[in-house]
Structure 1
C-alpha cells in the first residue's frame, strides 16, 4: 500500500522515506510539488494507505492540499498526517477541519513516524476489511432476496397452472391484466418496485375461481341469480387461499383477490367498500380486469371493440371505477399507441 509523502524540501522527503521504507506492506511515494501529489491521488486513491504532507509549501499549503484531496472520490477516509514546525492551536483546528487525521512536529522522530504510520495503516486496513465485509453481506442479502423472489414466482406459476386446468382462458387473461396493471401503475408514477409487485400479484386475482363449479365457470349463457352469487364467492375464496402468507407479494395478491370486484360507488362485492376505502391495488386491477373481460370472447358473449370498451370505462368512471385509475389507463394507452 502506498504512503504518499509531500514536502517541498527534498531532504525532508528523503528522511521520511528512509524512516518508513522497510515497514511491511509500505511503498513510499514522495513528491515535491502539491500538483504532482494531487495527480497521484486522483489516479488511484484506493491504493493510498496513508498520506503525509508538510504545512508550509509554496503555491499550495498543506491545508489546501488536504482540502482538495478530500474531494477526490476514494480518498475521503485515507488517514492524513500533517507535518509542521508550528504549534499553533488555531492551525491544528484548521487542519482538522480540512481533514487532517494526525500531526507530526518538525524535526520529526523517525521512530515516532514509523509508529504513527504503522498504526494508521492498520486502521485504514481495518476500515477496508469492514467495507469488504459490508459488501459481502450486501451481496448475500441480495442473493437471498432473489431466491425468495424466485420461489414466490414459482408459487404463483403453480397456482396459475392449477387455475388454468379449470379455465383455459385464465393464463392469457392474467397476462393481459398484468400488462394493463403495469401501464396504470406507471402512469400513476408508482415506484418501479411497487409496479413490479402489483403486476405480478395481479396474476392471482382470480385464483378463487378454482372453487367455482365447472357448470358455472364454463356456462355458455347468462348466469342465474343463484349462479351469479356462487361466482361472486371467488373473490373472498381467493383471499382465503392467499391470506396468512409471510410473503409481502402473496399478501398483496390476497388484497387484490378480495377487492378487485369492489366498486368506487360502494356497489361491489364482497365487502361493499367504496372510494379510497378500496385499496389502490384493487382499484387498479378492477380497471385492467374489466377492460380485458370486455375485449375478450367469453362463452356467454363476443368481444367488444376497443372503442366500445373505452367508452364503457369512461361512462363508469366515478361509479364502478376510480376516476384516477381510468384516466391513468387511457393516458397510458394513448402514450403506447
Structure 2
C-alpha cells in the first residue's frame, strides 16, 4: 500500500470505529478522514499524492457519495489517477446500488455492519483485495 486510504464519512462514531479497526490492522497512519465530499474533492485536486483507495459513505453533507464519485469521474485528471473506489454505507436501496454500478466507475458497494467483527472483516477483505489486485496504481 503506497498512498493513503481516503475515508469519506461524516458520522463521528463510524470514524472512531474505523480508526480502531485500522489501528488493529496497523495501518492507521495511512488513513485520511473527510467529513464531506467537497473537502475530499479539494484534497484530491490539490494534493499530488496517489491515494491507494477511497471508501465512501452514500449519505453525506454538501454532496452525496454518488455526486462525489460523479465529480471524480468527470474530472480528467482525477479519472486518470484510477483510484479504486468503494461505497460502504447503511444505504443499500436497490436504486442506489443500481445507479452506483450502472452510471459510475465504482469497484464495490458494501453494507455497513453494526457488528464490530463483521465490519472489521469487511474492511480487511476490501484492503486485502486491493493490496493483491493488479490495477494501474499497483507497484
On whether the aligned pair clears a TM of 0.5, the verdict is yes
CA deviations on 1:230-263 (whole Å, 9 max, x unpaired) are xxxxxxxxxxxxxxxxxxxxxxxxxxxxxxxxxx
CA deviations on 1:157-202 (whole Å, 9 max, x unpaired) are xxxxxxxxxxxxxxxxxxxxxxxxxxxxxxxxxxxxxxxxxxxxxx
Counterparts in 2 of 1:26 and 1:35: CA distance versus 1, 3 Å: same
Q: Please, which of 121, 127, 136 is the counterpart of residue 127 of structure 1?
A: 136
**How far apart, in 1, do the equivalents of 2:125 and 2:96 lie?**
23
Q: Report the TM-score when normalising by structure 2.
A: 0.78
Q: Give the CA deviation at 1:50.
A: 0.2
Q: Please, which of 15, 18, 25 is the counterpart of residue 16 of structure 1?
A: 18
Unaligned runs of 5+ residues in structure 1 are 131-337
Q: Please, which of 85, 89, 99 is the counterpart of residue 84 of structure 1?
A: 89
8 A contact 1:67–1:98 mirrored in 2? yes
Q: Give the CA deviation at 1:81.
A: 1.1
Higher strand share: 2
Greater relative CO, 1 or 2 (CA 8 Å, sep 6+): 2
8 A contact 2:59–2:91 mirrored in 1? no
**How far apart, in 1, do the equivalents of 2:51 and 2:59 lie?**
22
Q: Give the CA deviation at 1:46.
A: 4.6
Q: Superposition pairs for residues 1-337 of structure 1, below 5 Å? A: 1-21=3-23, 22-23=25-26, 27-44=30-47, 46-70=49-73, 71=75, 73-76=77-80, 77-96=82-101, 97-107=103-113, 109-123=119-133, 126-129=135-138
Higher helix share: 1
**How far apart, in 1, do the equivalents of 2:76 and 2:7 lie?**
17
8 A contact 2:22–2:28 mirrored in 1? no
Unaligned runs of 5+ residues in structure 2 are none
Secondary structure of the corresponding residue to residue 127 of structure 1? coil
**How far apart, in 2, do the equivalents of 1:81 and 1:49 lie?**
12
Secondary structure of the corresponding residue to residue 52 of structure 2? strand
Counterparts in 2 of 1:26 and 1:33: CA distance versus 1, 3 Å: same
Task: Provide the aligned length of Structure 1 versus Structure 2.
Answer: 129
